């Protein structure tokens, strides 16, 4: 759809990109995390790009990634990056969109924050931190947003069981933690 | 916009120390922290705003969502694609059909079925989407008017909403949480007398809208409470990711139905209302005009809708016909696998978005070839809009928080997912 | 604690009968209470839309006297927990319930407030009765307005019979106090 965005990106910041691709109408650029801020700033400020509207920021946890019908080399294994943070951007003037994906290792899930460039990512990065534990360096106010401060763990990671509750308050005659049901 | 004023400037407003009288210099008022929520009088869901106020004036507002976090993403990872439809209903629960359509669209995108659905299906989806958009705007305008003291428009607009709920109940079986759309089509066809019922309802709603406009538009109290309140500039709206009626009220000309058209919207004629000042009054007027544009689109759909099947003729998404399911073993097994395993979507990632009641509602799905999504992220406009609320209420009175918050139309289910 | 289960032991039956015996003044007070319920709609989620429909002209909760919501727990006696309660919301709900004055009743409106509904996960509380005692549960996702009115009538019958949780608690405390004096 907007192949020229990817072409311009490869031309100016080729070294910063691990690879580019296109899927189901979206253009995706895998950016190395060291050069993320530079690439993002160029995407916002360059008049031919003009990505001034942020769309979303989220994270994918590849821990259980065993796709059906794909060779075993594509399945996740130890040593591969566990998290991929995705940023989707849109341009109001030129009507094109791009998705930036940054791969992060499991032992050091940090990357620079884009909240200064696009204020919408302020809360969305807080949500990603809350749910996945990915830290954003330079974020003005990185604290939990959906869960309460006393919550331990990062719930959307694949190794957090869905039904593991950490209740804040219970009736006096009920146990603090009811017996665990099927913890999938 | 980071707030760099000093405490003294915050407390004393824009006056400088030497301009103050002796009294004011000696006794500067202290800031007070007031808690609004999470249980509001406004029936807008549950959000906590910790206000720091100087008398009546809000100095800083710390908005804390998350009191309705119902784990849509985690639940989706454990449910099949079709089982996720009820969860999507409960995202933006005032316009549930639109969420359903969005989820169906992302499944179809991954399966390669976009644009290959029967025409009747597309028309039905647009009809129920526009009806849902109307219920969204009617609820928003009605509830906001009620919070400002105008009880009568609330009753009138809820009466209109009841007519639409009855129709949607005839179509899908439920008044509010329909789960009507499926990947590849819709679950069942429209009832036989739908055209006549919908035409009657639209005529009556137009009459009620005239009454409500007469009550509100030139009402001095309503005007004073809404005009000039919560002003957002166009650049700020774009940079903070605002979409939908809020952005259009600021002058951002973006409507997914027109700019990235999907379904049969290219064949419908409609206008996209734009505001100028970006205050609460503009948001209200934009919403009111959008209800009228939805009525216009619905009339066109009713005139143009063809006959035909309501589900794509693709074995990956359609259940086998019941006659075969009950008589042949192959169809019965296929039916069983379809329900138990889910629609098997090939591995990949896709982002599909629709124009929800609040703007661009998108679903970002990573599929792994099984019948359950690997990841299902909702790009919810309410979450993004709520993040601007803290800036909008600054320097307004506490009483202005009510219209600002009402016109943002934060739906708790969508915001907290 | 829940005590109003039927029992076969004679001594317990006597205590039970004492608990449920109503004087004429009791009956008159309860009649007044049931027809003048001040609701506190603790609205969180989609059931709020059906609550608005119940309050709207077509299904009209006003005919039962429960029309105007009092948005302060100090001024209300019926807490309607409408919608999903999350763990984050638990302390707030408990505080609001504690702030209400006796006699008070609780309706769990919708299946999320009753048992958690189909949200069985780390954030949604499996029913608001994990935190507060509930008198009437309304299943439904969301319940139809007619179901809500049915539940309201059920609650009114319980109020008239003096069998709401808080009424029984008050009665039990009073009986215990008189027994202690004797």
Alpha carbon C71 to its chain's center: 16
Cross-strand pairs, A87: A57, A100
Q: Are strands C105-109 and A53-61 parallel, antiparallel or unpaired?
A: unpaired
- Which CATH class name applies to A1-64+74-184? alpha beta
Six-digit token string for C16 = 């039970």
pTM score of the predicted model: 0.90
Is B41 close to C121, i.e. CB distance below 8 A? no
Enumerate residues 6+ apart whose C-beta is below 8 A from B260. B353
Name the closest residue on chain B to residue A54, using Cα atoms.
B241
Residue A177 Cα, gap to closest chain B Cα (Å): 19
Q: Using a CB–CB cutoff of 8 Å, tell me whether C65 touches chain A.
A: no
Please report, to the nearest 10 degrees, the dihedral formed by the alpha carbons of residues A69, A70, A76, A78 taken in order.
Answer: 120
A156 closest CB neighbour out of B73, B254, B369: B73
Distance CA(B294)–CA(B282), nearest Å, equals: 18
Which tokens go with B131?
């009806």
Residue numbers in B near C57 (CB within 8 A): 155, 158-159
ipTM here: 0.92
Tens-digit pLDDT profile for residues C110-128 = 999 999 999 999 999 999 9
User: The domain that contains B201 carries what CATH number?
Assistant: 1.10.645.10
Q: Which of B10, B109, B122 minimizes the C-alpha distance to B57? A: B10
What's the longest Cα–Cα distance across chain A? Answer: 67
Please indicate, yes or no, if residue B339 is contained in any of the structural domains. Answer: yes
Strand pairing class (B48-54; C105-109): unpaired
pLDDT above 60 (res A171): yes
- Residue C7's beta-bridge partner residues? none
Dmax of chain C from CA atoms?
55
The first and second tokens of residue B385, run together, are: 């809009």
CB contact under 8 A, B43 and C51: yes
Residue B113 sits in the same domain as residue B147: yes
- CB contacts, 8 Å: A67 with chain B: 347, 368-369
Query: Are β-strands A97-104 and A26-31 bridged in parallel, bridged antiparallel, or unpaired?
Result: parallel
Cα separation, B263 vs A10, whole angstroms: 33
Q: What angle do CA B36, B42, B46 make, to 5 degrees?
A: 60
Interface test with A, best of B1, B87, B239 (most A CBs within 10 A): B239
Q: What is the pLDDT of residues A61-95, one digit of tens each?
A: 999 899 988 888 888 888 889 999 999 999 988 88
What does the pLDDT read at residue C181?
85
Nearest to C107 by CA among C39, C33, C20: C39
Is pLDDT at C1 greater than 50 in this prediction? no
What is the fold, at CATH topology level, of the domain defined by C36-181? Rossmann fold (3.40.50)
* Contacts for B93 with CB less than 8 Å, ≥ 6 apart: B176, B177, B411, B413, C45, C46, C49
On chain A, the residues whose CB falls within 8 A of the CB of C133 are: 171
Closest C-alpha to A104, from A34, A38, A156:
A34
- Measured CA to CA in angstroms, residue A159 lies from A82, A163, A183 at distances of 12, 12, 11
Q: What is the pLDDT of residue C11?
A: 62
**A100-145: per-residue pLDDT in tens?**
999 999 899 999 999 999 999 999 999 999 999 999 999 998 999 9
* HSE-CB for C170 with a 13 A CA cutoff: 11
**Helix H or strand E encompassing B296:** helix B280-304
B371 in the same domain as B233: yes
Shared domain for B124 and B12, answered yes or no, is no
Q: Contact, B264 vs B101, CB < 8 A?
A: no
Confidence of residue C174 (pLDDT cuts 50, 70, 90): confident
Cβ burial, residue B23 (10 Å; 0-12/13-18/19+)? exposed
**Rounded distance between C-alpha atoms, residue A61 and residue A133, angstroms:** 11
User: Could you tell me the residue range of the domain that residue B17 belongs to?
Assistant: 7-64
Chain B residue with CA closest to C125: the answer is B70
pLDDT digits (tens, 9 = 90+) for C145-173: 999 999 999 999 999 988 888 888 888 88
Output the pLDDT for position B95: 93
Q: For residue C2, is pLDDT > 70? A: no
Measured between beta carbons, which residues in chain B are less than 8 angstroms from residue C52?
Answer: 43, 139, 143, 158
CB C22 within 8 A of CB C16: no
Res. C15: pLDDT tops 90: no
Contact B216, B288 (CB under 8 A): no
The answer on B176 and B317 residing in a single domain is: yes
Domain ranges of chain A: 1-64+74-184
What pLDDT was estimated at residue C42?
92
In a domain, B72, yes or no: no
Extents of the domains making up chain C:
36-181
The number of domains in chain B is 2
The answer on B198 and B56 residing in a single domain is no
Alpha helices in B78-227 (DSSP H): 84-89, 96-111, 119-147, 151-172, 194-216, 220-226
Q: What is the pLDDT of residue C7?
A: 47
> How confident is the model at residue A184, as a pLDDT?
39
Residues B205, B105 share a domain: yes
Q: What is the DSSP letter of C86?
A: B
Average pLDDT of adjacent 10-residue blocks, chain B of 417 residues? 65 59 62 86 77 88 91 93 94 94 94 92 95 94 90 92 94 92 93 94 95 92 90 92 93 92 92 92 94 95 93 90 92 93 92 93 94 94 92 90 90 90
The two tokens of residue A20 are 């580019």
Residue B175 belongs to a domain: yes
C-alpha closest to that of B330 among B339, B320, B344, B340: B320
Inspect the interface and report whether the beta carbons of A65 and B374 lie closer than 8 Å: yes
Q: Within its chain, how far is the Cα of B377 from the centroid?
A: 16
Do B149 and B264 sit in the same domain of this protein?
yes
Q: Which of residues 142-181 of A touch C (CB under 8 A)?
A: 146-148, 155, 160-171, 173-174, 178, 181
């Amino acid at each position: 759809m907007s192949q020229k965005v990817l072409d311009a990106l490869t031309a100016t910041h080729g070294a910063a990109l691990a690879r580019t691709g296109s899927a189901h109408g979206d253009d995706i650029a895998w950016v190395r995390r060291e050069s993320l801020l530079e690439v993002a700033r160029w995407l916002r400020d360059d008049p031919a790009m003009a990505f001034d509207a942020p769309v979303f920021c989220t994270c994918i946890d590849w821990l259980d990634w065993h796709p059906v019908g794909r060779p075993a080399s594509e399945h996740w294994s130890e040593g591969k990056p566990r998290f991929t943070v995705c940023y989707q951007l849109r341009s109001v003037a030129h009507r094109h969109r791009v998705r930036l994906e940054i791969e992060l290792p499991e032992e050091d899930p940090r990357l620079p924050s884009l909240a200064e460039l696009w204020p919408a990512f302020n809360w969305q990065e807080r949500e990603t931190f809350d749910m996945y534990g990915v830290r954003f360096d330079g974020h003005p106010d990185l604290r939990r947003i959906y869960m309460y401060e006393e919550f331990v763990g990062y719930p959307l990671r694949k190794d957090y069981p869905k039904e593991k509750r950490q209740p804040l308050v219970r009736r006096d005659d009920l146990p603090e933690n009811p017996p665990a049901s099927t913890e999938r | 916009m980071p707030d760099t004023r000093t405490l003294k400037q915050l407390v004393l407003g824009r006056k400088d120390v030497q301009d103050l009288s002796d009294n004011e210099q000696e006794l500067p008022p202290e800031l007070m922290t007031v808690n609004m929520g999470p249980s509001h009088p406004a029936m807008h869901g549950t959000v906590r705003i910790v206000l720091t106020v100087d008398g009546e004036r809000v100095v800083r507002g710390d908005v804390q969502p998350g009191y309705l976090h119902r784990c849509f993403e985690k639940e989706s990872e454990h449910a099949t694609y079709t089982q996720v439809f009820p969860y999507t209903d409960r995202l933006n629960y005032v316009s549930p059909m639109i969420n359903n359509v969005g989820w169906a669209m992302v499944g179809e995108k991954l399966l390669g079925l976009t644009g290959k659905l029967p025409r009747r299906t597309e028309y039905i989806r647009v009809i129920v989407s526009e009806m849902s958009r109307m219920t969204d705007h009617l609820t928003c305008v009605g509830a906001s008017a009620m919070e400002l003291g105008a009880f009568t428009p609330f009753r009138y607009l809820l009466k209109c909403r009841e007519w639409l709920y009855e129709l949607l109940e005839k179509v899908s079986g439920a008044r509010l949480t329909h789960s009507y759309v499926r990947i590849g089509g819709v679950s069942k066809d429209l009832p036989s007398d739908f055209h006549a019922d919908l035409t009657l309802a639209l005529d009556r709603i137009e009459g009620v809208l005239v009454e409500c406009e007469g009550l509100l538009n030139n009402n001095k109290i309503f005007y004073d409470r809404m005009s000039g309140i919560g002003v957002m500039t166009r650049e700020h709206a774009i940079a903070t990711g605002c979409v939908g009626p809020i952005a259009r009220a600021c002058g951002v000309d973006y409507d997914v139905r027109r700019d990235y058209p999907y379904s049969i919207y290219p064949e419908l004629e409609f206008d996209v209302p734009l505001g100028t000042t970006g205050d609460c009054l503009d948001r209200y007027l934009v919403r009111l005009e959008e209800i009228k544009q939805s009525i216009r689109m619905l009339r066109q759909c009713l005139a143009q809708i063809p006959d035909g099947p309501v589900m794509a003729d693709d074995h990956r998404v359609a259940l086998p016909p019941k006659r075969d399911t009950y008589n042949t073993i192959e169809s019965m097994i296929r039916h069983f696998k379809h329900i138990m395993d889910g629609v098997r979507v090939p591995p990949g990632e896709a982002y599909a978005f629709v124009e929800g009641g609040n703007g661009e509602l998108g679903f970002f799905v990573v599929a792994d070839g099984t019948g359950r999504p690997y990841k299902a992220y909702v790009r919810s406009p309410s979450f993004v809009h709520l993040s601007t609320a803290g800036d909008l209420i600054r320097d307004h009175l506490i009483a202005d928080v009510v219209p600002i918050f009402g016109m943002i139309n934060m739906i708790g289910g969508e915001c907290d997912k | 604690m829940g005590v109003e289960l039927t029992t076969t032991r004679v001594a317990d039956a006597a205590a039970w009968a004492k608990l449920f015996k109503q004087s004429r003044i009791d009956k008159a007070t309860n009649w007044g209470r049931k027809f003048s319920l001040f609701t506190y709609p603790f609205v969180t989620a989609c059931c709020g839309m059906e609550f608005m429909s119940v309050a709207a002209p077509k299904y009209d909760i006003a005919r039962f006297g429960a029309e105007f919501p009092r948005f302060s727990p100090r001024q209300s006696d019926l807490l309607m927990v409408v919608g999903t309660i999350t763990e984050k919301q638990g302390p707030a709900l408990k505080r609001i319930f504690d702030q209400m004055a006796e006699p008070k009743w609780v309706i769990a409106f919708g299946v999320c407030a009753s048992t958690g509904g189909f949200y069985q996960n780390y954030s949604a509380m499996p029913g608001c009765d994990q935190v507060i005692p509930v008198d009437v549960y309304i299943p439904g996702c969301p319940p139809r307005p007619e179901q809500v009115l049915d539940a309201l009538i059920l609650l009114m019958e319980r109020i008239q019979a003096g069998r709401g949780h808080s009424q029984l608690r008050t009665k039990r405390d009073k009986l215990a106090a008189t027994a202690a004096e004797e």
